[in-house]
Structure 1
Amino acid sequence: MLSRLLRTAAIDARGQRLGRLVDVIVRLPAAGYPPVTGLVAELGRRRVFIPAAVVRTWQPDRVELASARVDLRAFQRREGEVLLHADVLGHRLLDTTTARLVHAHDIELTAGPSGEWVLSGVDVHRLRWLHRPGHHPRHPFRDWHAFEPLIGHQASLRARHPLTRLRRLRAAELADLLEAASAPEQLDILTQVHTDPELEADVFEELDEDQQSHLFAGRGDPEVADVIAHMRADDATDAIAGLPQDRRRRVLALLPDELRVTVTNLLHYHAATAGGLMGVDVLALPEDATARQAVQAVRDATTTQPEALANLYTVDPGGRVAGAIGLVSLLRADPAAPLRTIAEPDPVTVTAHADQIEIATLMADYNLSTLPVVDEDCHLIGVITIDDVLDETIPANWRHREPAPHHHNAAA
């Protein structure tokens, strides 16, 4: 354990005490465990580098060297080097199995089959005050691969590989982490997430309004527009509405033409109404289309929110909503059957000005996963999904309760 190794003696080949160890150096590989490349020893008031290759044996109370000579030049960190005591021990890591930020209270070093020592595990159990340093109670160390290390440590950012382990986390979990992180940790997580624009947009969609506005405030208009351009139209509208008034026009002007027009139209609706909650990507087909054609339409709707495809709708020759078909019912139907023979007629709808209470009541009473929104002439203009309703109706203080841990496949 690193806690036992620190402050122990470095003994040269003649058995003479050179000084005491103050740190262990590793490099972060693209795969596998980080190998120990050297030690930092304190000789009087000078800190010097000892290559791992000259270490003959590792003992609980000392490290014995195979040489009697040590380079006495002052230690200087090289690019890509990570110091376990200075950079990791006591600092926070991102636990990708529980989606939480945790502290590294101790570190486990293990001898590999080729004789080199590697960083293999981390202890995230808090050391109680009654235990002496270096005498941590026995419990399993967690595998190093379960963590994203050095969160918020900008000096080592270039030594790490972006999105290696963050990909195990869902966008909602990354959003929760951002809300719990310090400013340097937020910058670190966002720097890695930024390499995947779709994931970045999903994460910003999951942030609460205040946090989203705070993070956007630190970015230029083109950067904000780039994130919003990858959002669904309803979430993009919410993001634009959350910007300061003088900034909305500038960011809107940078959006792709089609999205800008859609967002501009949605901004006319109050956020707490059906128009403010609805998404505009909805699948509607003529009544005389066949089940086979409808299934193909679902396959082709690759950019539509999956939740919105739980139901599709039929329209009459005048473009008015005529029926609703659940995806399961569609898959069970005869492929040649016209949709009018499968659809449930006269589906429940709301106008764009319906409030949240009406929407939630209708979806609960009729057990709906989606709710179509229509204009005064019963033409379909959007759809509300159950997740949109839950986002707006769950009390704000519930979101800050301690979440149940989410476990992920370590091999993912």
Structure 2
Amino acid sequence: MTLATQPLSLSTLLRLPVHDSDGHRMGTLADVIVRLGDTDYPIVTGLVVAVGGTRTFVSSADLEALTPERVELSSSTVDVREFARREGEVLLSEDVLGHRLIDLARVAFVKAYDIQLTQVLEGWAATGLDVHRRRWLGLGPRHASHDVRDWLEFEPLIGHAASARVRRSTGRVQGLKPAQIADIIEDANEHEQDELLAQVHEDPELEADVFEELDQDSQAELFKGRSDSEVAEVLGRMQTDDAADALMDLPQERRLPVLTAMPEPQRGAVHRLLGYHDLTAGGLMGTEFVALPPTATAGDAVAAVRAASSVQPQALVVVYLLGEDGTLDGVLTLVAALRADAARPLSEIADRDVVVAAPTDDVIDVTRRMADFNLLALPVVDGGRRMIGLITVDDALEAAIPQDWSRRETGHRETGTA
């Protein structure tokens, strides 16, 4: 193959004449085929050449030269059968050019206006994307020069169902934070959502975290297309308070079947939370927290926090001391446990004057109490001072902040620069 001295842009290559090894024109370049990878640039595996009214496949092994003026093949013959895409193949013009991608650095949708192709040891590869809008004002060159960004900074959403399974394992969306993925899903169209959810579904724990971050309307809409057992599977991995809220957002006729399909002990915990109004401490609280007897040591407390992999991080800032009957006897911050002698009993270092909430306390009282005492977590106790739940600061803020503030537009819509 003739070596290229500089990268090429896909827009300049499309519809170029394709010549065989004898110099005869065979057709025009209709598309370039690549296979996506998880860390490397997608390598060109073939071309789609328009020969008369037929689109045919040409292997990259038969590509002799690729220049801004022409495409040359090393063979004098091509397979004249109609091109049929194979599993995992991506067509750069049909699937990427002019379509939306995820800018992973900015966590925003952008559109691909051009694609850079660079010659590498394996042949040709897609190495860059131009995501700047082009403007035609009638003056100067039509295609103004823009900086091309690295291909690996983006996640294409191809939307080709037949190759989705192959691409799913190479998707990089899983590297984003759950809240960022949720924002993208909320801005996506139906086909984009399908591909994003398919990638997230590969990691069940991440899937649950993402659904926790979705706003109520988006969450309910996405659950519409899932069976009761599928919804129950996701809710079973969510925090109990979030699962209870999501369950109540389902149509009434679906709530009991979904609840029944949830695994224990999550089903029982969610069922108990459903008895509280959502704007009370009982409706805000979760049921997962770390509790130890007063005879446990500071070392035990640190070990319990380390082992509590299913408890949300916000609930791990404190350890609670409970008596044999479940009554709240004291509280110890994780920082205090780390600073104390590992062998020292919790009864000697815990704060016995614990600020608590009753399950019927309203949201305003809860948030004011947490602010007044600078609390990151507030235990909820029943009439016998038995601890039944915990309100974390993120849940309190979410309930206190007006709903139209919680999803302010912060630039995660589609972006582009002229």
Query: What TM-score do the two structures reach when normalised by structure 2?
Result: 0.89
Distance 1:164 1:132, change over 3 A: farther
Is residue 2:31 matched to residue 1:34?
no
Alignment correspondent of 2:26: 18
State the 1:318 CA deviation: 5.8
Alignment correspondent of 1:393: 400
Cα distance in 1 for residues equivalent to 2:140 and 2:30? 14
Spell out the pairing of 1:222-237 with structure 2 (5 A cutoff): 222-237=229-244
- Structure 1: state its 5+ residue gaps: 406-412
Q: Secondary structure at the match of 2:125?
A: strand
Q: Secondary structure at the match of 1:351?
A: coil
Q: Secondary structure at the match of 1:257?
A: coil
Alignment correspondent of 1:109: 117
Q: Secondary structure at the match of 1:358?
A: helix
Alpha carbons 2:232, 2:262 under 8 Å: kept:
yes
Cα distance in 2 for residues equivalent to 1:262 and 1:281? 9
Is residue 2:369 matched to residue 1:380?
no
Alignment correspondent of 1:55: 63
Alignment correspondent of 2:336: 329
Cα distance in 2 for residues equivalent to 1:206 and 1:270? 21
State the 1:203 CA deviation: 1.1
Spell out the pairing of 1:345-356 with structure 2 (5 A cutoff): 345-356=352-363
Distance 1:131 1:185, change over 3 A: farther
Is residue 2:314 matched to residue 1:307?
yes
Distance 1:163 1:109, change over 3 A: closer
Alpha carbons 1:152, 1:186 under 8 Å: kept:
no
* Residue identity in the other structure for 2:94: A
* Residue identity in the other structure for 2:236: A
* Residue identity in the other structure for 2:267: R
State the 1:171 CA deviation: 1.2
Alignment correspondent of 2:5: none
State the 1:163 CA deviation: 5.6
Comparing 25-34 and 347-356, the one that deviates more: 25-34
1:227-250 CA deviation, whole Å, 9 max, x = no partner?
111112222211211111111111
Alignment correspondent of 1:83: 91
Cα distance in 1 for residues equivalent to 2:369 and 2:158? 45
Q: Secondary structure at the match of 1:350?
A: coil
Spell out the pairing of 1:181-330 with structure 2 (5 A cutoff): 181-316=188-323, 319-330=326-337
Cα distance in 2 for residues equivalent to 1:284 and 1:110? 58
Comparing 305-314 and 44-53, the one that deviates more: 44-53
Comparing 180-189 and 65-74, the one that deviates more: 65-74
Alignment correspondent of 2:82: 74
Alignment correspondent of 2:6: none
Cα distance in 1 for residues equivalent to 2:246 and 2:226? 14
Q: Secondary structure at the match of 2:101?
A: strand
Cα distance in 2 for residues equivalent to 1:117 and 1:164? 21
* Residue identity in the other structure for 2:398: D
Q: Secondary structure at the match of 1:304?
A: coil
Cα distance in 2 for residues equivalent to 1:87 and 1:335? 59
Cα distance in 2 for residues equivalent to 1:284 and 1:389? 21
Cα distance in 1 for residues equivalent to 2:405 and 2:309? 33
Distance 1:134 1:122, change over 3 A: farther
Cα distance in 2 for residues equivalent to 1:201 and 1:136? 44
State the 1:267 CA deviation: 0.3
Comparing 17-26 and 262-271, the one that deviates more: 17-26
State the 1:389 CA deviation: 1.1
Cα distance in 1 for residues equivalent to 2:295 and 2:345? 5
Alignment correspondent of 2:126: 119
Alignment correspondent of 1:342: 349
Distance 1:151 1:385, change over 3 A: farther
Alignment correspondent of 2:100: 92
- Structure 2: state its 5+ residue gaps: 1-8, 413-418
Alpha carbons 1:348, 1:372 under 8 Å: kept:
yes
Distance 1:400 1:313, change over 3 A: closer
Distance 1:152 1:337, change over 3 A: same
State the 1:404 CA deviation: 6.1
Alpha carbons 1:4, 1:135 under 8 Å: kept:
no
Distance 1:319 1:252, change over 3 A: closer
State the 1:2 CA deviation: 0.3
Cα distance in 1 for residues equivalent to 2:343 and 2:166? 58
Kindly report the root-mean-square deviation, in angstroms, between the aligned alpha carbons of the 2 structures.
2.3
Cα distance in 2 for residues equivalent to 1:319 and 1:250? 32
State the 1:326 CA deviation: 1.2
Alpha carbons 1:122, 1:142 under 8 Å: kept:
yes
Q: Secondary structure at the match of 2:191?
A: helix
Query: What TM-score do the two structures reach when normalised by structure 1?
Result: 0.91
